[in-house]
Structure 1
Amino acid sequence: MIVSAPAHTGKKGETGMKRWGKISVLFALCAALWLAGSAFVAPFRYRGGTVDGLELKGLTPAAAERVLRERYVRELQGKKLFVEAAGDEYEFTYPEIGYSSDLAEVLKAARDKKGDYIVSRRFFLLREEETLGGICENYARRAVSARVRFTGDYDKPFEYTEGSGAHFIDFEQLQKDVRRSLETNFSAVVAKTVYAPEACRRADLEKERAKLSSFTTCFSPDKTARVHNIALAAEKINGCILADGEEFSFNGRVGARTESNGFLSAPIILEGDFVEGVGGGVCQASTTVYNAALLAGMEITEQHPHSLRVGYVEPSFDAMVSGKTCDLKFRNTSGKDIYIVCKTTGNSISVGFYGLDNGVKYVRKSVVKEEILPPEQEVVAGDEDKVLRAEKKGLVSEGYLIAYRDGKPVSTRKIRRDKYTAVRGKVQKSEKIVA
């Protein structure tokens, strides 16, 4: 009996015809998918329209963007921005000048709808704050105040050093002007410079150091010790700076009239007579200071007249000082510092006051109210006839201070009334004097 083999039912049992049939179907399916995919990823091309005059038809968005951006750069390379700052000129070109635009949005809109589109561009300076800030920094100068040095030299008491004001560029205004130029027609920009005066100008310093007064008295150059004492007192006073509200003391400034303090013996007035004493002549220095202080408007707080008239100043304008009981004092009420200078020559002493000028000028006036006759002269015996002491009339006097403003008197003030003792004459006779 003959038995047939059973048919194979798995993949291995498939016939060659069936296998190739399935491969053919799979190949056809892949080809269809490839053709469909190729159609899907093909680049978009514009069908028409323009952007900034560029015909878009047939261009891809990427190509249109590249062409337009190249055009914008060429245009920008032909532009220049000039900035003038304090005489210096700065030039900016591409790539220092950049731009931003809505090109991407316009190209997207042109895909959706044909039309003629204009791209909005905004030009700007790269690193704007740093660049403009550098220009401002190059020009900026801080203010330097004027300065003054008190030399104590009578003829040139002050040395001035000029100051300089601050100058700088208004950064915010420069930034606005640059942006406006780039947004319009690239017109040149002139930076706005700002000037500020120095905190203290020379004119301000000079105003507070105006010459308020000067006064000079003369003496005989032959009296060497007296001249020495006057010059020494002047030297000690010279260069004094009296602060506002401060009181000046002649004795405090000059010091004791002693040999250890440099003073010599010279005639002084003591109890109505001229005698030798250390420091003789210093009263002429105090008198000169006193009159300069009056003319400068100082407030006199202490002064004393001599018991006898002196020949170097008018009555009621002398100022006697002694180391024990009498001083010359005055207070600075000007509101600013007062500077005092003194100098002596071979036959004179001069004192000057400097400070804030309030516009008032002063004039002194001495008025003799009464003369006092000297008593009968004293006669003494001697080898020859000669005058031992000249007689001198005494007097009663008053001192006035007249204030002027703009050349017109505004007040007259009596500042003192004094009585100077008459000097009894003394003569020597050669004949015998009968009692």
Structure 2
Amino acid sequence: MNKVRLTTFVTFALGIQLFVSIGLSTAVLKLFYRDSILPGISVEGVDIGGLNYQQALTTLEQGLPWPSLNNSLVLVGQEGKTTEIQFSSIDFRVDYEGIAKEAINYSQRASTWQDIRLLFGTMNTGHKLPAIIHFDKEAFSDILNELANQFNQRPRDAQYAITGDKVTLFQDVKGSKLDVHQTIKQLEDLSFGQHKVNLQFEVIDPTITVEQYKGINSRLAIFVTQFSLADGERTHNVKLASDLINNLLIKPGELFSMNNALGPRSPESGYRQAMVIADNRLVPDYGGGVCQVATTLYNAVLLSGLKVTERVPHTRPVPYVPVGKDATIAGDIIDFKFMNNSSYPILIVSQVQQDKLLVSILGHREGVSARLVKTETQRSINKAPRQYIQDPLLAPGQVVVRNPGIDGHEQKIFEIIMENDIEIERRLISKTVAEPVPEVIALGPKVKNKGVLNK
């Protein structure tokens, strides 16, 4: 029993002694490093342990002279396109004051009883603080906005070509828009000593994709009517209405309305006054001539085998089609409608050529191969090597980028012809090779490490 008590007492006494020792050691360290930095703390390889705030500030300025005033920041866009700006134009610099303050604050936090592991860990293995950078975000944002037109790429809608009655589709291309916010974040995260930032982009989808055209492989029908160019107002309305229905895509099961496609026939919508048939008489009204467009479309729809759901003839014959082949529309009361009762999308193609109006219906026809032409880009990057040169004319520790360097690349663009989703032909249409330009960095004489100060 006495041995147990003795063991307990000794253990308790040793614990008290250890607690007091650690407490005293911590108090001494906290007092000793109250206004200075703990040993083992460094920033990007520059040792600032044992220094006070002002000494650390001087050491950092000499040891981390980045960037120099004449250094350039390289902005790298898509396909390796680059542009350079001066670091000074956005007040880009290392925040030496902020780093020194953070080092002092870190040392004070570590020199407490609560952070005893942090304290001894720092003194035994060291601690690396990141370099804090500062730049004018508003100035950088203004520069990026000015460069946007240089780097932005507009999307390209899917296209088609008609050869005879065969339709060939051309792949849509996504566009891109410079993302200023994300690019600023890239600069905030720039590693110390780097001089390149990859511009960030948001993808802009095209309005019409080749997927929407999928299945269209043939011209199902075409119908042509003629008009007089002498009547300028009526010709204007025919061209306007033709443009409004041109390239309209109608999905399977979708109902087409001529009135919805053309909108109200009013001067606000761009229509002019021309002769129309009303109550079996010719009278002037806005939109005169649009019935010829409706009639031409009606006949193309009939020839293509689509389902007409609403059609009203004129009250008297019209000169541009045989009797019984016309269709009229009026306000939102009389309409021409048809349904895409096929299993594939259809496309209305309406064009004015001289004094003729041509309306085609594109769709799917069995036994006709679906042909698609698209491009493919292959690109490989050859990183720019980094070269260091010694320059005794520079200040000790000074670093100057003589040339920021440019990555090299090889880019190939192929045109690929697909038939029924199978590649049948591929040909190289473009090849560009750019050799890398080395990044050249000049170094001044090395800074002597001051080490830990004696107190």
TM bracket, shorter-chain basis: 0.3 to 0.5
Tell which structure's C-alpha radius of gyration is larger: 1
Q: TM-score, normalised by structure 2?
A: 0.36
Q: TM-score, normalised by structure 1?
A: 0.37
